[in-house]
Amino acid sequence: MQILRFGAAVGAALALAAPTAATAAEPGYTTIFDGTASGSDASFDKWAYAGGGSVTLQADGTMRSSGGFGMRWYTVKPFGDVSLKVDYRDARGATPGNSNGGVLVRFPDPRVPVADTPASWSYDWKGASGPFPPAKQYSGAPGCQRAIPSVLPADWAPAWVPVVCGEEVQINDSPDVGAPDPRKTGSIYGFADLDATRSGADVRSRQVGTWHTMEIRIVGQQFTVLVDGTVINQWDGAVPMSFPDRGLGDPPTMARQLAQGYIGLQAHGDGDSIDYRDVRVKELSAAPRNTAAPVVTGDGYTGRALTCTPGTWANVAADQAYVVEWLRSNAPGNDAPTDAELGTVKVGSGASYTPGVADLGKVIWCRVSVTNAEGGTVWATRAAPAITLASDVTGTVGGSVGATLSLTLGAPASFGTFTPGAAGTYTASTDATVISTAGDATLSVSDPGPNPGHLVNGAFALVQPLEGLGVVKTWNAPTTNEKVPVTFTQRIAPGDALRTGSYAKTLTFTLSTTAP
């Protein structure tokens, strides 16, 4: 929508031919325009007209805009959080160029006399992490419905209510980037504008006469716009922002904080012809809710990756998918910047982003978006640390470790006193303290002396072998000052002859490695 000309008012004309049957709405959606002239809450007669130009019912059950500036709006009820779907096509036909129109949302009842509307507004902004103004209590005047410019024709005034109180989601698939209107399809008019490339209008401009589906998801003040199933714009109307000055006193976002509002379809001006059909709405009652904000980790130095984790969410699936995007903005220079002053551009997708020199002096932030099974899309944001220019030079620091295998034994192992003529099993233990810097190591015990494997008392040896010889423990990594218990067992049978004195054996404890 752009003021270019004052078109003469044209009365709405009802087509008399039978309409084409409306496409069945998707599960959960309610059709509010089905192409019929009358007979239900989805009929054309539930859509009132305001302003100049016209939006008329066609023989095929579509609505077509033409002439000057105006809108046809759904009078049955206002809507809060919704997924709104509208099929549209450029109906210019053989006429060169592309048409301009729009879907109007979240505006108050335009039938209410201006004198009965609020004279002022106030807004308590809580603040958010990102390129946003700090928390502040805002107030101002006039109220949005009293901000309709006096230069407009009187019959345009009701059609201007969405312009000053609600939002227009632009339809304009022309490929140009200058006049007559550089704001392309999917733009939140004046607050989050798209060029032809970001909109996809550069492709759709070659498809005049092709039907497209625009979906607008509104949760709280967060707007997500899709065309043919692809997200092309996301904008948070809760953030304090100013409308770019065009001399008409357009109110800022702070004056537009409506929790619900009406839906309309725009007629833009002479030569603009848009067809609309199959308008359907899904009211959202359990949208995703962020319970702990996303977290950005990293030091903010150029060339070093930042990482964004999603935080925690309610009303989402256990295996919920999260869309993480990285954006770059100018720091806000005032408490209600314009879209152009913020200059936000997307710079990356996915959990990590590596800042570069283009990010110096900018605000880098991540946005985590969630769409749950009900169809509501919500996001939360987190600013990265200030980006700092860094130049990394590789240096080394270190030390060395000499090859070490150290084995220290504790007190000698003792079985105590053997009892002759009685069966018994005796145990004796000691500790081995091990230090090894090797990649692997083995602690073993062997008996290399006479009568190997048997305790001896002079010329006499025990009949039963000493148990506990062999491998005690192995390692596949270094160890330091590790105490390893070493246990021996000696069995005595009732018939074993025992000689008075002490039985003993000198054993060899070995700590070895194949990878010093």
With residue 203 as reference, give the H or E element that holds it: helix 201-204
% of the chain at pLDDT higher than 70: 95
Average pLDDT over residues 402-410: 96
pLDDT in tens, 201-228: 999 988 888 999 999 999 999 999 999 9
65 found inside a domain: no
In this prediction, residue 5 has a pLDDT band, given cuts at 50, 70 and 90, of very low
Average pLDDT over residues 340-354: 98
Average pLDDT over residues 466-485: 97
Q: Bridge-partner residues for 368, per DSSP?
A: 324, 380
Q: Phi and psi of 26, rounded to 5°?
A: -65, 155
In this prediction, residue 179 has a pLDDT band, given cuts at 50, 70 and 90, of low
Q: What would the DSSP string read from start to end of 32-82? A: EE-S-SSSSTTSGGGEEEEESBEEEE-TTS-EEEESSSEEEEE-S--BSSE
Q: Where are the alpha helices (DSSP H) in 323-437?
A: 339-342
Rounded Cα distance, 509 and 35, in Å: 96
Rounded Cα distance, 58 and 14, in Å: 7
In this prediction, residue 178 has a pLDDT band, given cuts at 50, 70 and 90, of low
330 found inside a domain: yes
Sheet bearing 47-51, strands edge to edge = 47-51, 70-74, 262-267, 100-107, 167-172
Rounded Cα distance, 223 and 190, in Å: 14
CATH of the domain at 301: 2.60.40.2700
Give the per-residue pLDDT at 21: 56
Residue 233 shares a structural domain with residue 293: no
Residue 346 shares a structural domain with residue 253: no
With residue 196 as reference, give the H or E element that holds it: helix 196-199
Rounded Cα distance, 67 and 515, in Å: 89
Average pLDDT over residues 253-261: 98
Tokens, residue 371: 């769409």
Using CA atoms in the order 460, 463, 465, 466, what is the torsion angle rounded to 10 degrees? -50
- From 353, 383, 413, the end of a domain falls on 383
At residue 445, does pLDDT exceed 80? Answer: yes
Give the per-residue pLDDT at 401: 95
Average pLDDT over residues 233-244: 98
- From 231, 265, 299, the end of a domain falls on 265
Average pLDDT over residues 271-297: 96
Give the per-residue pLDDT at 93: 78
Residue 250 shares a structural domain with residue 312: no
Q: Are 100 and 2 in contact (CB under 8 A)?
A: yes
Residue 227 shares a structural domain with residue 362: no
- What do you get for the CA distance between the two ends of the chain, in Å? 79
Give the per-residue pLDDT at 10: 32
Between strands 377-383 and 363-371, the pairing is antiparallel
Residue 121 shares a structural domain with residue 226: yes
48 found inside a domain: no
Helix count and strand count (H, E) for the chain: 4, 33
Tokens, residue 472: 């005690």
At residue 6, does pLDDT exceed 50? Answer: no
CA dihedral (349, 355, 360, 363) positive or negative: positive
Q: Which residues of 263-298 are buried (b: 16+ CB within 10 A; e: fewer)?
A: bbbbbbbbbbbbbbbbbbbbebeebbbbeeebebeb
pLDDT in tens, 132-144: 999 999 999 999 9
Rounded Cα distance, 361 and 300, in Å: 12
At residue 351, does pLDDT exceed 50? Answer: yes
Residue 114 shares a structural domain with residue 254: yes
Average pLDDT over residues 428-450: 96
At residue 17, does pLDDT exceed 80? Answer: no
Average pLDDT over residues 302-306: 97
| Angle (CA) 138 142 144, round 5° | 90
Plot region of 34 (φ>0 → left; ψ -120 to 50 → alpha; else → beta): alpha
Distances (CA, A) of 318 to 322, 367, 372, 432: 12, 20, 11, 52
Average pLDDT over residues 381-389: 97
Give the per-residue pLDDT at 67: 85
Burial of 151 (0-12, 13-18, 19+ CB in 10 A): exposed
At residue 419, does pLDDT exceed 60? Answer: yes
- Closest residue by Cα to residue 50 from 78, 76, 72, 77: 72
pLDDT in tens, 80-96: 999 999 999 999 876 77
- From 229, 249, 265, the end of a domain falls on 265
52 found inside a domain: no
pLDDT-wise least confident of 24-28, 107-111, 213-217, 348-352: 24-28
Domain count, the chain: 3
Give the per-residue pLDDT at 207: 86
Residue 376 shares a structural domain with residue 417: no
In this prediction, residue 177 has a pLDDT band, given cuts at 50, 70 and 90, of low
In this prediction, residue 9 has a pLDDT band, given cuts at 50, 70 and 90, of very low
Give the per-residue pLDDT at 14: 34
CATH of the domain at 469: 2.60.40
Burial of 204 (0-12, 13-18, 19+ CB in 10 A): buried
Q: What is the residue range of 433's domain?
A: 405-512
Give the per-residue pLDDT at 323: 98
Residue 257 shares a structural domain with residue 305: no
Tokens, residue 164: 């000053």
In this prediction, residue 489 has a pLDDT band, given cuts at 50, 70 and 90, of very high
The pLDDT mean for the chain works out to 93
Q: Phi and psi of 30, rounded to 5°?
A: -115, 125
41 found inside a domain: no
Q: Where are the alpha helices (DSSP H) in 100-178?
A: 161-165
Residue 247 shares a structural domain with residue 109: yes
Tokens, residue 288: 């995703």
At residue 11, does pLDDT exceed 60? Answer: no
Using CA atoms in the order 29, 32, 33, 36, what is the torsion angle rounded to 10 degrees? 110
Give the per-residue pLDDT at 68: 87
338 found inside a domain: yes
Rounded Cα distance, 493 and 490, in Å: 10
Largest CA distance in the chain: 131
Taking the whole predicted model, whether its pTM rises above 0.85 is answered as no
At residue 269, does pLDDT exceed 90? Answer: no
At residue 16, does pLDDT exceed 60? Answer: no
SS3 364: strand
Rounded Cα distance, 33 and 62, in Å: 9
Q: Are 324 and 289 in contact (CB under 8 A)?
A: no
Residue 163 shares a structural domain with residue 232: yes
In this prediction, residue 20 has a pLDDT band, given cuts at 50, 70 and 90, of low
Q: Are 152 and 161 in contact (CB under 8 A)?
A: no
Residue 414 shares a structural domain with residue 473: yes
Q: Bridge-partner residues for 167, per DSSP?
A: 105
Provide the residue type at 34 as one letter: D
247 found inside a domain: yes
Residue 439 shares a structural domain with residue 494: yes
454 found inside a domain: yes
